[in-house]
Structure 1
Amino acid sequence: MLIHPQFDPIAIQIGPVAIHWYGLMYLIGFGLVWLVGTARIHAGQTALSRKDLEDLIFYCVFGVVAGGRLGYTLFYQPSYYLSHPLEILYVWNGGMSFHGGLIGVLLAIALFARLRQRRFLEVSDFLAPLIPLGLAVGRLGNFINGELWGRPSDVPWAMVFPQVDATPRHPSQLYEMALEGIVLFLLLWWFSRRPRPVGQASALFLIGYGVFRFGVEFTREPDGFLGLLSAGLSMGQWLSVPMIVAGLILFAVAGRRRIQHT
């Protein structure tokens, strides 16, 4: 049995200025997206320029934060935030939704594509292999913070989260980091090394994330204020189903098109 290390939530403190681990993970995540995106540009895997990448990341930062926060308030606690609307702005209190953040990123991509007169799917195909790196770092941040813990388990690597109780649990944050982050990145990186029909890389991201998230949710403790929903599934699983369906449809439709570079 393992015990969660109980990290100090503050990663760096310089006088009165404190940088929390979760905020640092966001910075590292976007930094990795910039680094790997630059490598794809230099390899000639896209017609986008380095300036395009930097502008796209700028738009996506706002998409992730605004979409993630609004998604959490609408998907997870709508009644509470309808009664306390100002608290929607209290991002520092926690409460972000990946699915809401994804919607925010899609809107950011749509705005970028419109302003640069590029096709939406061309831009999303370029970005799709980069996103899992940010997700991996984000899940590591969840683990460091000791949040989003797993369900009780007797597996040899089960971990006690003292801030919750003395029950050994799945370290589900690390499962998500491995599957939604590292494995999905490797899959999309391999897939995108060769020219593919426009839209298929984006579709594979939707399918891959949706399947991995759906599976890991069986080991993750559902939110206490929601519990399990219809068919014994969590909110995260129900939100992942449309991703999988949309990804399968897009992959099939895109497969009928001619192969093109992004």
Structure 2
Amino acid sequence: MLEFPSINPVLLSFGSLQIRWYGLMYVIGFSCAYLLVVHQAKKFAWKQMLTHVDNLNLALIIGVIIGGRLGYVLLYNPMHYLMHPMEIPAIWSGGMSFHGGCLGALLTGALYCRKQGLDYWRAADLFIATAPIGLFFGRLGNFINGELYGRISTAPWAMVFPDGGPLPRHPSQLYEAALEGLLLFLLLWGMKANPWHQPKKRLWPHGSMLSLFLIGYGCCRFLVEFFREPDAQLGFIIGLFSMGQVLCLLMVVAGTALWYARITAQTEKATVHPPPSAT
């Protein structure tokens, strides 16, 4: 058994003002993702995106926060917030849903791109390839807070979490950081560099990175949920499956359907407007 590192969740304190590790992890994650998006826009010479990247990035952050909070309220603890509606905006007290945040970002991104005349699928691929970076740092923040810990375990790397009772548990936050964060980023970034995804040899249509992210995240999170303690107010909702696993299965289905739809759309477009023959 490993000892849980006792890290003060408050990094700095100035009177009543506190800077917490969890918030700092979000800032680092968003900042890294932003820099990588700018790098891609410059690399692929998408000048239109470079003029909108700041505003679109802000819109996505707002979508993540609102969607994440509403997702948690509606999916994970609806009865509590029905009885205490004034607590809904209190995101500082905890309670965010990744699936809600993902949906919120997709919707705000679609609205912004439609209003500004941007190619939504191309923009989605640009941003989604960097999303695992934010997930990586976010899960590290969960670990520092000692929250979202795993199930009771006898594994030699299991830990006793401050609020998890006296028995050692899986450090499932670190599993998620490794799979949903690091591994998924390496896979998506590598696929982004694949010649099939480049403009001159494009076999994968715009939107393919988004579909692969949905499938990849859904699979990684579904696996980790077997080691993560289910939410106390929900437990297992379908057999041995948690709410997170049910939502991840829906993500995999949605990602697969999107992949098929985007491939079909590209094939139909190529049939109607074939590329000019070489002379």
TM-score (norm 2): 0.89
Contact 1:6 1:146 (C-alpha < 8 Å) held by counterparts: no
Cα distance in 1 between the residues matched to 2:62 and 2:10: 23
Tell me the equivalent position of 1:73.
73
The answer to whether 1:197 aligns with 2:209 is: no
* CA positional deviation for 1:9: 1.4
Structure 2 residue identity aligned to 1:174: L
Show the counterpart of 1:4: 4
Q: Check 1:46–1:183 CA distance in 2 against 1; reply closer, same or farther (3 A cut).
A: farther
SS in 2 for 1:152: coil
1:39-78 superposed Cα distances (whole Å, 9 cap, x missing partner): 2122117455333221111001111111110000000011
Any gaps of 5 or more consecutive residues in structure 2?
199-203, 271-279
Of 249, 257, 261, the residue aligned with 2:257 is: 249
Q: Secondary structure at the match of 2:95?
A: coil
Counterpart CA distance in 2 for 1:178 and 1:48 is: 34
Partner of 1:101: 101
State the structure with bigger RCO (CA 8 A, min sep 6), 1 or 2.
1
Q: Secondary structure at the match of 2:239?
A: helix
Q: Residues 18-29 of structure 1 correspond to what in structure 2 (within 5 A)?
A: 18-29=18-29
In structure 1, give the amino acid aligned to 2:75. F
Q: 2:230 aligns to what SS in structure 1?
A: coil
Contact 1:133 1:182 in 2 (8 A): yes
Q: Deviations over 1:195-229 (max 9, x none)?
A: 23111111000000000010000000001111111
* 1:240 paired to 2:218: no
Out of 194-203 and 97-106, give the one that drifted further. Answer: 194-203
2:220 match:
212
Instruction: Provide, for residues 155-191 of structure 1, a one-character-per-residue CA deviation record: whole Å limited to 9, x for no partner.
Output: 2211111332221111000000010011111111011
**Is the Cα contact below 8 Å between 1:46 and 1:126 reproduced in 2?**
no
Quote how far apart the aligned CAs of 1:151 are: 0.4
Q: Map of 1:1-262 to 2, 5 A cutoff? A: 1-44=1-44, 46=46, 48-193=48-193, 194-195=197-198, 196-256=204-264, 257=266
Q: Secondary structure at the match of 1:159?
A: coil
Q: Which residue of 1 aligns with 2:273?
A: none
Residue 33 of structure 2 aligns with an amino acid whose one-letter code is V
On the 8 A contact 1:3/1:162 being kept in 2, the answer is no
Indicate the larger mover: 160-169 or 201-210. 160-169
CA distance in 2, matches of 1:6, 1:92: 21
Instruction: Work out the CA distance in 2 between the residues paired with 1:254 and 1:47.
Output: 24
Paired position in structure 1 for 2:276? none
Structure 1 SS opposite 2:12: strand
- Could you say what secondary structure the match of 2:222 adopts? helix
Amino acid at match of 1:127: F
Q: Give the whole-Å Cα distance in 2 for the aligned partners of 1:45 and 1:209.
A: 29
Q: Unpaired segments of 5 or more residues in structure 1?
A: none
SS in 2 for 1:255: helix
Identity of aligned residues (%): 47
2:236 partner SS: coil
Q: Tell me how far apart the structure 2 counterparts of residues 53 and 228 of structure 1 sit (CA, whole Å).
A: 40
Cα distance in structure 2, aligned partners of 1:65 and 1:154 = 36
- Between the aligned partners of 1:48 and 1:130, the Cα distance in structure 2 is 19
- Bigger Rg over Cα: 2
Deviations 1:98-147 (A, max 9, x none): 00101110111112111221232221111110111001110000001000
Count of matched residue pairs: 260
Q: TM-score, normalised by structure 1?
A: 0.94
SS of the residue 2:157 aligns to: coil
Cα distance in 2 for residues equivalent to 1:24 and 1:242: 31
SS of 2:88's equivalent? helix
